[in-house]
């Protein structure tokens, strides 16, 4: 059974960072119930989950994907591009180490957020220009090249993270809402979707795609392509520039 790391939202969630959008009030109780529904969707589709212990002082800690990049048997622990988020990494590292992963670190002067890394087979696209810097990309390449990964930097300026702009379908097609993709030609294959949140899918296996309720037309498009959308409402996390990908770290091996 595949496993996903998750991290329960804390009481300060509403104070999470916003960079590219206007701040809107977050309903904490609704966020808690949406988080539970996200976790339930993982369980329903055959995933087991492991909780990283919550860290109450960090409002953005629920976005656990940003703390690491996992490929093969190695977890590279990120060094967040936003100072406020750096304390999130330690407990995430302990949790993934307990799952049997070898550990490496992004170190000063490197910065990297897991949300900037999109893996498509052995290609690892890394968004550079926001939270992730050149040194972060180089360190990631040094860590994963020995495992056969081809680490490629791609520009990200219009949105928070690379995976706020693009993710990939099970056949490797990169999908994105074009007005927010800096350079669609950076990807081996690219297909546009009609909504911003339609660019965000988590591959659940067996052609199921976890996606947000805010992208109904994209869900229809994916259903027409033969995929099965599994839809969750994550409105309270979207107010903090979060998407379905960032609420878990999928451990696929």
Judged by CB under 6 A, the number of residues near ligand CIR is: 20
Does the annotation mark 43 as catalytic? no
| Residue of 58, 161, 200, 243 with catalytic role | 161
Per-residue buried b or exposed e for 77-113, using 16+ beta carbons within 10 Å of the residue's own CB: bbbbbeeebeebbebbbebbeeeebeebbbeeebbbb
Residue 162 tokens read as 């690379």
Interaction between residue 70 and ligand CIR (CB under 6 A): no
Query: Among residues 16, 136, 176, 198, which is the contact residue for ligand CIR, using CB under 6 A?
Result: 16
Count CB neighbours of 64 within 10 A: 24
Instruction: Name, in order, each residue with C-beta under 8 angstroms of 217's C-beta and a sequence gap of 6 or more.
Output: 194, 195, 198
Residue 240 tokens read as 């903090």
Structure-token match 């081809």, residue found? 150
Does the annotation mark 243 as catalytic? no
Query: Among residues 35, 47, 63, 144, which is the contact residue for ligand CIR, using CB under 6 A?
Result: 63
Residues 125-184 that bind ligand CIR (CB under 6 A): 160-161, 163-164
Query: Among residues 151, 246, 249, 251, which is the contact residue for ligand CIR, using CB under 6 A?
Result: 246
| Residue of 58, 200, 243, 246 with catalytic role | 246
Residues forming the site for ligand CIR (CB under 6 A)? 16-17, 19, 60, 63, 65-66, 82, 85, 115, 160-161, 163-164, 240-243, 245-246
């Amino acid at each position: 059974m595949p496993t996903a790391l998750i991290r329960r939202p804390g009481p300060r969630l509403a104070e999470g960072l916003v960079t590219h959008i206007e701040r809107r009030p977050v309903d904490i109780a609704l966020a808690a119930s949406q988080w539970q529904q996200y976790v339930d969707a993982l369980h329903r589709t055959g995933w087991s989950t492991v909780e990283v212990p919550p860290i109450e002082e960090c409002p953005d800690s629920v976005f656990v994907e940003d703390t690491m990049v996992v490929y093969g048997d190695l977890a590279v622990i990120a060094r967040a591009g936003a100072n406020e988020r750096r304390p999130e990494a330690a407990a995430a590292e302990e949790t993934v180490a307990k799952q049997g992963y070898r550990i490496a670190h992004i170190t000063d002067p490197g910065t990297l957020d897991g949300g900037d890394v999109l893996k498509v087979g052995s290609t690892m696209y890394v968004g550079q220009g926001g939270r992730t810097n050149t040194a972060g990309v180089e360190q990631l390449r040094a860590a994963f090249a020995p495992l056969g990964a081809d680490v490629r930097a791609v520009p990200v300026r219009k949105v928070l993270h690379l995976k706020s702009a693009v993710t990939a379908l099970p056949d490797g097609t990169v999908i994105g809402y074009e007005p927010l993709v800096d350079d669609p030609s950076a990807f081996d294959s690219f297909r546009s979707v009609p909504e911003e949140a339609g660019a965000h899918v988590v591959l659940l296996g067996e052609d199921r795609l976890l996606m947000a309720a805010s992208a109904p037309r994209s869900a229809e498009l994916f259903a027409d392509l033969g995929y099965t959308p599994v839809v969750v409402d994550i409105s309270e996390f979207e107010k903090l520039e979060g998407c379905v990908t960032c609420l878990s770290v999928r451990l696929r091996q």
